A and B are shown apart, each in its own frame.
Chain A
Amino acid sequence: MTNYLIKKAFEELSEMELKHIEDCLEKDAPIMPTYSYLIKMKKLIENPYSEEYESPIVIKHRISLRYALIAVLLMIMFTTTVIAFTPVREKLKDIIITLFSDHVDIDSIEEVEPDEANFVIKIPHKIPEGYHLYKETKEDNTVHMQWIDNEDNTLDYFEQPSSELSITITSDSSEVRDITIGTKHGKMFTDKEHNITTVLYEEEGVTFILIGCRPEEEMIQIADTIY
């Protein structure tokens, strides 16, 4: 395969190509160049070596890059603004938590310093049938009592000053709702997966927590007997 043969092949291929295209031009609908194209070509023919010309293809990509750069700068400015202004940041944080989290931390709304002299130990007086007291701890302003039934279901009661609260209630996958216990306002967490209900309320700087496997209404009734 000599270089000559390759050259001859390309000669004939070019000839075939141009003949084919001319045949197609005769048969197909004519391609009418646009006015803008004709103007551009006229300028190019009149002054082929002008330095004003820029590749039309490059220009289009430059324009796209320009828009992309502006978009990136706007995003950076927006992000900086959000981070810089606390109210905006907090609001955004709340929105993100609401949208993406099924996890709610309950903090004490009011921290009332308990009067040590007024820390009164209170206990629930209605215990479900079949439960017996299993454990009781009363020390350092913390009360923990646990009842248990024959099937090892537990009912836990905690009483602790809110300022010293060492118990963290989290409610992964739990429903949370506001409840009324007599005249008191509290929260109920229902973990349906594990069938655990938690009742929590605060009174005069002391937090009362009841955790058990009993129905919701029963838990509220038990909490109502805490005195």
Chain B
Amino acid sequence: MLVYLSLLDTDEDKKHFSILYETYNRQLLYVAVKMLHNQEQAEDCVHETFMRLVKHIDKIDARTYKVLERFRKEQQSGKDIKLTEYLDTLEKEKKMVCYKTWGYLVTILKSIIINFLRKESRFISINDSKDIFTGYGPDMEEEVIRDRELSELKKNIAKLPETYQQVLMLQYFHELSSSEIGQILGKSSDNIRHISKRARDKLRTLMVRGGYLYDELSDKKGF
């Protein structure tokens, strides 16, 4: 509680928020425009994403800001460098906190867009989510297999409906509880648990079809 209070209306807080906006805004806007094909609606969804981020900014790893600040300084010094190129120069742990933050933001964005499309009656069923822009790129099909099992898992995760991916991402990558995920995605914690169970079952089925035998994924603590 004290930690939360210390975050309210501080210059530090605004600075962190500003860093996140300046770093990820273009990419989020791109994803939104690709999914909605309407810039005005895309901007509304990205705006909504940042508004939700404000409420859950404590979920962002504090190390992210230091990395991104240095990246901004590199850019301001005149270097024409992309974020991903910069992150590739860092050690793995620092690189992953930024990708984790990206994953967090894009998950919120996609959740907002899917809910928006449902309300607009433009999204018929969760099974149609293959039409949703995932943005994983051509490497998903052609990547060099360093680890077959991991590669197979990534491909199967990409095949899951968008909502399943979002819940699993926040559950296993960000290690959030069902109630925290519910707050971010605007669903009840019971609903999140059900979605998580279905997602894990489907993932397991896909992996078994690929020839990998697995026991059921264990629930994480807090689920």
Contact = CB atoms under 8 A, between A and B. Distances in A.
Given A1-B217, A14-B103, A44 B50 contact: yes
Interface in A23-37: 23-26, 28, 31, 33-34, 36-37
B70 to A, nearest CB: 17
Interface stretch (A54-62, A71-79, A183-191, A198-206): A54-62
Contact of B172 (A6, A23, A40): A6
Given A17-B137, A44-B47, A3 B30 contact: no
Nearest to B119: A61
A5 B153 contact: yes
Interface residues of A, number: 44
B60 interface: no
Given A22-B82, A57-B116, A3 B217 contact: yes
- Majority-rule SS of B interface residues: helix
Nearest to A36: B43
A24 B28 CA distance: 12
A34 B215 CA distance: 50
Interface in B131-182: 134-140, 149-150, 153-154, 157-158, 168-169, 172-173
A85 interface: no
A16 B141 CA distance: 12
Contacts, number: 147
A83 interface: no
Contacts of A22: 27, 82-84
B54 interface: yes
A88 to B, nearest CB: 37
A13 B95 CA distance: 13
Contacts of A1: 153, 203-204, 207, 212, 214-215, 217
Contacts of B185: none
B99 A18 contact: yes
Interface stretch (A45-53, A162-170, A219-227): A45-53
A6 B100 CA distance: 13
Nearest to A28: B30
18 contacts: A1-B215, A6-B168, A6-B217, A7-B173, A9-B154, A10-B173, A13-B103, A13-B136, A13-B157, A14-B102, A16-B137, A17-B102, A19-B84, A21-B27, A45-B14, A45-B17, A57-B44, A57-B116
Nearest to A12: B154
A37 to B, nearest CB: 4
Contacts of B90: none
Interface of A: 1, 3, 5-26, 28, 31, 33-34, 36-37, 40-41, 44-49, 53, 55-57, 60-61
Closest 9 CB pairs of A and B: A20-B137, A10-B173, A14-B103, A37-B43, A56-B44, A1-B214, A14-B99, A6-B172, A48-B54
B74 to A, nearest CB: 15
B139 to A, nearest CB: 6
B1 to A, nearest CB: 16
B188 interface: no
A24 B82 CA distance: 12
Interface in B45-62: 45-48, 50-51, 54, 57
Contact of B150 (A12, A16, A31, A34): A12
Nearest to A64: B119
Given A9-B153, A15-B84, A24-B30, A40 B17 contact: no
